[in-house]
Amino acid sequence: MSAPQVYRPPRPPQPIDLRLDANEGAAPSVAASRLDDSALPELIRRYPDDGPLTEALASRLGLDPRQVLVTAGADDAIERVLRAFAAPGREVIVPQPTFGMISRYVEGCGARLVPVPWIEGPWPIDAVLERLGPRTAVIVVVTPNNPTGATASAEALDRLARAAPRAVLLVDLAYVEYAETDLTARALEWPNAVVCRTFSKARGLAGLRVGWAAGPTGVIEALRRVGHPFACSSLSLALARAALEPERAPALAAHVEQVRDERRALTVALGELGCKVLPSEANFLLVRPPQPGGARWLWEGLAGLGIAVRRFADPQLEPWIRITLPGDRAAFARLLEACATVLRPEALLLDLDDTLIDTSRSFRRAIVEAAAHFGVRLDEEEICRAKAAGGANDEWVLAGEMLAARGVHPEPEAITEVCEALYRGRGGGPALADLESPLVDPARLERLARRLPLGLVTGREHRDARGALERWGLAPAFTTLVGADEAPTKPSPAPLRLALERLGARRAWMVGDSPQDIAAARAAGVLPIGVIAPGAPPEGTRSALLAAGAARVIDGVDELERMLP
């Protein structure tokens, strides 16, 4: 048997400041996170005592404290159930897809997992009952289910408990606070059911790793025997106990209501964008974008705008992504706008140099020859590395930066004069500008323009950029052009915002070859797409642009036709 893979969900390489990929609840208030300072030394010094939290939970549930076990998150509770009751030669029935750790825990205890398909619709009670047999040890009921948000009914739970009296029903209710119906009390009526709950989701305490299991005394005692006696730290236990105080109830209720409102609104918004959204009673939605490969693109696109959502390696879930509802009005508004930007842009903005026109033999060669004029030897590979590392967007300024790095400090005006003379052929030499060539066919650009209005945002001055477009027959495709003499240059978002204003658009994609292009786009709320400049090292450039925040890095503008909705 091969060793199990390390649990490692896909993480986007882009900088992320809004994480909606782990179903965490809203952060508790600062006041809710405080403990009595005078109690801290003893809490830290002594081994943990989960008695106060156990008693508080038992009181809320109307149970004997012996029927409640505090665990290190609901994960620990689930694993204990499987370790206690599943074993080699036994079977565990699991409707799937579901919480990914369950199959790992089943494998770890040597039992056979019996899958039952359940991507949508009612809980598959009939299919589960068909799979019951003498080897059935545990039946898993995750409701609301992760990652779909679907739920099991009380009637299905009752049928299951009656039909399988010798099996343990593992009822995972990690997201139940967000559901319309709480099955905790119903499950606890049955002598073969154990409920697993957590403080990680609605209560926003995932970092504390506190959960609990409740059920018949004999079942809970079996769980105690297979786990650590000190599952949670004293600080975690104290903060979790404080979270149950009555004064915290209004904040919890407000959070749940906010999430439910977001759930309804995002379902409608994504449906209008062409997505299939599964009905959910959790704090997340499972979404299938309309285009082939759309799940990966929405995952990448949102990451390009600083938002992480969850995608899956499981082939069954590959067309879907899961989006956690933030439970925060400002974050939710940002999420709505980001989804619309990725899936339905209103304009396409493009950089000029090394995006539409190959300047590897003009600007880069001018820098090399200008450096030689000042006694410094540079090569084009160094220039590419400097640009990928975030060097100046203006090539002549970049030349100055690279000279300064070698300890040579000419006046900026002198550098510009030498570079311009080389580029334009002043002083009798050949004009390096004549060595430029287009990177895109005008007809292809015209096709893009028929789908979305195009705007050029460039580090060149307007007149120079217009001349370059006209020289290669690219000008007719563009509705507007913003040059360096009209707004601050990238990485400022100002030129992109000016282009959008002129286009009458709010949502757009921006394609450019430098980290400055990417930074400007993100700052403007525009989806950044990187492109590998001619002659640039592909892998290093790709990594640099993704690290700067590009949603995706393409080899050329030609790829945009396939990407646009």
Output the CA–CA distances (angstroms, integers) from residue 441 to 357, 432, 543, in the order listed: 11, 22, 27
List beta partners, residue 142: 172
Name the DSSP class of 171: E
Instruction: Classify 342 as helix, strand or coil.
Output: helix
C-beta separation of 296 from 280 below 8 A: no
C-beta separation of 61 from 184 below 8 A: yes
> Six-digit token pair at 352?
């000029």
Output the CA–CA distances (angstroms, integers) from residue 547 to 208, 534, 535, 536, in the order listed: 30, 20, 20, 16
CA angle at 410 for the pair 417 and 371, rounded to the nearest 5°:
70
Amino acid (one-letter) located at 517: D
Of 217, 263, 93, the C-alpha closest to 164 is: 93
Region 347-354+438-563: CATH code: 3.40.50.1000
CA angle at 262 for the pair 259 and 263, rounded to the nearest 5°:
85
Query: Same CATH fold, 347-354+438-563 and 31-244?
Result: no
Q: Where in the chain are the domains?
A: 31-244, 253-337, 347-354+438-563, 362-435
| Residues in Cβ contact with 419 at an 8 Å cutoff, skipping those fewer than 6 apart | 366, 367, 370, 395, 396, 399
List beta partners, residue 211: 71, 198
Instruction: Classify 50 as helix, strand or coil.
Output: coil
What confidence score (pLDDT) does residue 330 get?
97
Q: Which CATH architecture has domain 31-244?
A: 3-Layer(aba) Sandwich (3.40)
Measured in whole angstroms, the distance separating CA 263 from the mean position of its chain's CA atoms is 18
H or E element that contains 97: none
Instruction: Classify 118 as helix, strand or coil.
Output: coil
What confidence score (pLDDT) does residue 1 get?
46
List beta partners, residue 552: 529
Cα–Cα distance, 294 to 3 (Å, whole number): 32
What confidence score (pLDDT) does residue 10 get?
82
C-beta separation of 206 from 28 below 8 A: no
CA angle at 309 for the pair 81 and 551, rounded to the nearest 5°:
150
C-beta separation of 75 from 200 below 8 A: no
Q: Which CATH number fits domain 253-337: 3.40.30.10, 3.90.1150.10, 3.40.50.970, 3.90.1660.10?
A: 3.90.1150.10
Q: What is the dihedral of CA 328, 329, 330, 332, to 10 degrees?
A: 80
Running along the chain, 565 residues long, what does each successive block of 10 average in pLDDT?
Answer: 68 96 84 70 89 97 97 97 97 97 95 97 98 98 98 98 97 98 97 97 94 98 95 93 92 96 98 98 98 95 98 93 97 98 99 95 89 90 82 83 92 91 84 93 97 97 96 97 96 98 98 97 98 93 97 97 94
Of 438, 508, 511, the C-alpha closest to 468 is: 438
C-beta separation of 144 from 280 below 8 A: yes
Instruction: Give the sheet arrangement for strand 168-172, strand by strand.
Output: 68-71, 211-214, 193-198, 168-172, 136-142, 91-96, 112-117
Name the DSSP class of 25: -
The DSSP annotation for 128-168 comes to HHHT--TTEEEEEEESS-TTT-----HHHHHHHHHH-TTSE
CB crowding 259-278: b at 16 or more within 10 Å, else e: bbebbeebbebbeebebebb
The alpha carbon dihedral of 467, 473, 474, 477 has a sign of: positive
C-beta separation of 149 from 168 below 8 A: no
What confidence score (pLDDT) does residue 453 get?
98
Q: Largest alpha-carbon pair distance within the chain?
A: 96
Of 207, 213, 152, the C-alpha closest to 179 is: 152
Q: What is the dihedral of CA 212, 215, 218, 222, to 10 degrees?
A: -30
How far the first Cα of the chain sits from its last, in Å, is 44
Instruction: Give the sheet arrangement for strand 478-482, strand by strand.
Output: 478-482, 454-457, 347-350, 508-512, 527-531, 552-554
What confidence score (pLDDT) does residue 390 get?
73
C-beta separation of 238 from 35 below 8 A: yes
* pTM, 2 dp: 0.93
Cα–Cα distance, 391 to 533 (Å, whole number): 14
Of 335, 558, 536, the C-alpha closest to 439 is: 558
Cα–Cα distance, 394 to 470 (Å, whole number): 21
In this structure, the chain runs to a length of 565
